[in-house]
Copies of this chain bind each other. A is one copy, B any other.
């Protein structure tokens, strides 16, 4: 049997790994990139703490020597269900018995007119371009004589108080306050304004309200202005408008929501898939795309019919493993239980020594939560080299307040 896994994120990699244990299954992994990306650390690349290679592993390296796994670097553009063919970007097609769609999500900017003026944070390219923007802002401020422009250069507006927004705000504030503190002669980087804008009445809304409060407090201690219940009404070059308030910010970051990648929309036409909120593919209790028994979907590109699941790595990982096992059991004629998500808790970090955690009925924050966050995230980083490298760089940053990847390129 030939199973094609589309996308090598958390879900896709776990589906492929589980499938590949059965040597009778031929697995093909397709991704437009040649690497698996540890997305939770993208904000660290954007704020010069880590290098892209620290949070990436070549997909081929995973399956090195596993002859029943083939890796293809290409983009999937559609599915022909009748002929059981996948349509690839380079005009090639690929036949399949089963397909696992794990193509993830992309930034969703509500108003497309705003897109040219904001930075997203979904890819290595996004992170590098944001890093360049942040570091260049300080360089430009240093040589700027007009105080109004200088202020705008050192103002960072972050839209969206979810984990990405919170982590970025904390990291930028620390960069300015500690790392760059003695590096400039004409500006004082600790005067930097970091403004986190959130439409609802709290940050990190998937957490307990008490923890949201803790997180807000920790951000404020780092010098971040947290503006709750503020809706963005317009964005243009270097300007964010919130009703009658206007923020002049050279760097504007969009961290307010995602939408599924284009393949989902394509599949609506190709195989009659149903799309739910955020253009996500509706999947049944077995994670099959409704109406297509041979096509599975998981993670950010899918919408589970039984309950709404958050767009986080543990969901995709559990779904990937479930689909891998399901296909193997089906192959052997065994029956399959419906998928159910086991919430093992979730965490978010705010700067270099604070985090919040919510595990079962337990809710806590502070330095202990931060150590847990560090440990768990390094544990889940794929690749021994990456684990050692990230651990040492964090240790070094922790002790010196320095950051290793402060290069503009």
With A and B bound together, what is the CA distance between A396 and B392 in angstroms? 14
What residues make up the interface of A, taking CB atoms closer than 8 Å to B? 33-35, 51-54, 56, 58, 60-61, 64-65, 67, 70-74, 90, 92, 124-125, 128, 135, 139, 142-143, 180, 182-185, 385-386, 388-389, 392-393, 396, 402, 404-409
Q: Add 12 more A-B contacts to A34-B408, A53-B405 (CB < 8 A).
A: A51-B51, A51-B405, A52-B407, A58-B406, A58-B407, A65-B182, A72-B142, A74-B143, A90-B143, A92-B143, A125-B409, A385-B402
- A60 and B184 contact, Cβ closer than 8 Å, known pairs A53-B51, A125-B409, A409-B33: yes
Give chain B nearest CB distance to A43 CB in angstroms. Answer: 16
In the complex formed, the residue of B with least CB distance to A180 is: B60
The CA-CA distance from A396 to B396 in the complex, in Å, is 19
A34 touches B389 (CB 8 A): no
- Does A53 contact B404, Cβ atoms closer than 8 Å? yes
- Interchain CA distance A54-B50 in the complex, whole Å: 10
* In contact, A183 and B90 (Cβ under 8 angstroms): no
The answer for the CA separation of A182 and B61 in the assembled complex, in Å, is: 9
A56 contacts B407, C-beta separation under 8 Å: yes
- Minimum CB–CB distance from A281 to chain B (whole Å) comes to 27
Q: Which 3 A-B pairs have the closest CB atoms?
A: A53-B405, A51-B51, A60-B183
Tell whether A385 pairs with B404 under 8 Å between CB atoms, given A64-B182, A65-B182, A92-B143. yes
Nearest to A51 among chain B residues (CB) is: B51
Q: Give 28 CB contacts A-B under 8 Å.
A: A33-B408, A33-B409, A34-B139, A34-B408, A35-B406, A35-B407, A35-B408, A35-B409, A51-B53, A51-B54, A51-B405, A52-B405, A52-B407, A56-B407, A58-B183, A58-B406, A60-B180, A61-B183, A61-B402, A65-B182, A70-B185, A90-B143, A92-B143, A385-B396, A385-B402, A386-B404, A389-B389, A389-B393
**Residues of B contacting A72 in the complex (Cβ-Cβ under 8 angstroms):** 142-143
CB-CB under 8 A from A128, the residues of chain B are 409
Cα distance A143–B323 in the bound complex, in angstroms: 27
Known contacts being A385-B393, A389-B393, is A124 close to B409, with CB within 8 Å?
yes
